[in-house]
Structure 1
């Protein structure tokens, strides 16, 4: 009679394939994962258990010790692939069930001690995967938060520096300050305030929870006001700042969120365009309006474009920058969308689509306080 350990070592690939087919049938939470990514370390893990079972029970390695070697499992990759920990646990549950069914179908007789060892080994494998998954995720969150804070500091640096220079210039002015200096300070303070408000909204709410306070707007007028705030930056680089929007168009939208989105798109276009133009166009469509923010900048590669519109997490490595995060969430919150058309060397066009009328939404109720011990 072939031992359980020999069976696991001999039929490793068959068992891995059987497990994979079960995982597919059950409706996976991450269906986009490839077969290779899913199986990854499973054959090694089955073979590791099988080799341990070949040894006499009294001399076997502890099931927990099997997973001390890093190469025998890699839950960190599951975090990178954005697989939930619940899915990882479910994967190993399927493995136990499929091995048991496979043994029954073959009529294999397995001793209680051998099967108990196998079961404990899978239990310890799951537990160690959870520990390492949680540790890696915590470290990843810490890195993301650090990068996110650094991104905020970088975004704030420019308006704060401009504000500092403006105040110094104002201090050197005798008599009444020049109107252009006061106007520049006004624009800088306004930009700084909008950035801080956008960051606070990004931190406090998910897009589907953002409070919405729509009002009737003339988007052409709104575009003009936003463009005026960034005209100095564009002119300093010699860029043409062009606007095409019919003044009679009206829509209902949240003014602050719309300014968040358009302001960040226009600012990014100016920031990354060395020469040529930045053009803002308002287009009327059957189901809403579309704002086009087009530039003659360097363009964005297809690889980078895929990263730009991954699900947004603050500070996510390789993900969108802070300004685009704010714009993306402002669009989603109002039932709209943000997309991109770009080719390397041929500029970029960001397309912000919004419905004609955005419905109002109140701030979600605060969570009830945690009960105090002994209360």
Structure 2
């Protein structure tokens, strides 16, 4: 009669297929993600356990079986966003499948061998959880480091501009040039808005942001923002156009509107090397649509799916904090942020806001993780 170790080694494929059928019958929550996580590695893992039993190591601790990285790949599971509880449940299916398979065949195995097998599967799930926790902690540390670096990068430009304006004033004689004073004021305003936006990003979730609507003319807000960024655009030789209905009125939070539009305009200027950046406004029934269009390089479909993911400013090709702040400002007011873009044909961001935004007092629960939930995902076309 074959030993338990030989049974596992000789019938690996059959057991994996049985596990797969069991897994499908149970209805996994994330079938497209979890199938390969276990199935691709299970044959190796079953043979590792079988070989250990066949070699008489059933009295040893099975923990050492999983010290070799090649025998499982939890990092792939993390990259695929498969929850650890899903993996633990699927390894539990392995034990159930092997137990029922042994009963069907009326195979007699020793308590010691079966205990070793069960503990080996348990240790496999535990090792996956340990690596998952380590990987996640390292990822959080990397993201936080990149996040802080992104904040520093965002602050550097207005601080440098502010320093240059102050030096110009110091070199002047007599009364300061009113134009220089106005540029200084606008730079200070930009810096203040950026700091306020970052603080709101850190302190509140999108659905907890305080919203204080006021009656205003959106054309006036757009005009002020365009004036603030006109110097940046002209320095790159870009046209900064406006097409708005000056009679339009809405009830909206001015600070959040400036957060959203200001960052969209800044991003458009930043990533457009030639041509134009255009800001338009359309009134549609009970909502107002702000469009920020550019003649930049456009965004690939793959990159579009990454744009609104959790803040990781240090990633290659990342857009920093701007889009995150803009998106949260839209969601907080019951609006949406959409993207229309094709490589080589520029990009258009559409900020849709209700004509009359509802007021809300902020709910402060301490710092929140700077990520965007799936319930508030933007649309891309």
TM-score by length of 2: 0.89
Q: Which stretch shifts more, 244-253 or 183-192?
A: 244-253
Distance in 1, Cα, partners of 2:178 & 2:338? 39
Q: Structure 2 CA distance, aligned partners of 1:44 and 1:23?
A: 18
| Residue 301 (structure 1) shift | 2.0
Q: 1:231 to 1:171 in 2, by over 3 A?
A: same
Secondary structure class of the residue paired with 1:220:
helix
5 Å matches for 1:223-372?
Answer: 223-309=222-308, 311-315=309-313, 317=315, 320-364=319-363, 366=365
| 8 Å CA contact 1:52, 1:61 repeated in 2 | no
* Aligned positions of 1:29-178 closer than 5 A: 29-33=29-33, 35-57=35-57, 61-178=60-177
Post-superposition Cα deviations, 1:198-245, rounded to whole Å, max 9, x if no partner, equal 111111222222222222332222111111111111122221111111
Residue pair 1:307, 1:320 contacting (<8 A) in 2 also: no
Question: What is the alpha-carbon root mean square deviation over aligned residues?
Answer: 2.2
- Aligned length in residues: 365
Equivalent residue for 2:220? 221
Q: Deviations over 1:21-67 (max 9, x none)?
A: 44444444434416334523222112211211212256x65300000
TM-score (norm 1): 0.90
CA distance in 2, matches of 1:103, 1:79: 33
8 Å CA contact 1:314–1:325 kept in 2: the answer is no
Cα distance, 1:76–1:230 mapped onto 2, change above 3 Å: same
Q: Which residue does the alignment assign to 2:4?
A: 4
Contact 1:226 1:263 in 2 (8 A): yes
Instruction: Please give the alpha-carbon distance, in whole angstroms, between the structure 2 residues aligned to 1:284 and 1:296.
Output: 24
1:188 corresponds to: 187
SS of residue paired to 1:263: helix
The 1:189–1:77 alpha-carbon spacing in structure 2 relative to 1, beyond 3 Å, is: same
In structure 2, runs of 5+ residues without a counterpart are: 367-381
Cα distance, 1:247 vs. partner?
2.0
Structure 1 counterpart SS, 2:2:
coil
Instruction: Output the CA distance in 2 between the equivalents of 1:98 and 1:44.
Output: 16
Assess, with a 3 A threshold, how the Cα gap between structure 1 residues 79 and 36 changes in structure 2: closer, same or farther. Answer: closer
Helix, strand or coil at the partner of 1:186: helix
Cα distance change, pair 31–354 in 1 and its aligned pair in 2 (3 A): farther
- The verdict on how the C-alpha distance between 1:322 and 1:361 changes in structure 2, with shifts beyond 3 A counting, is same
- Offset at residue 88 of structure 1 (A): 2.7
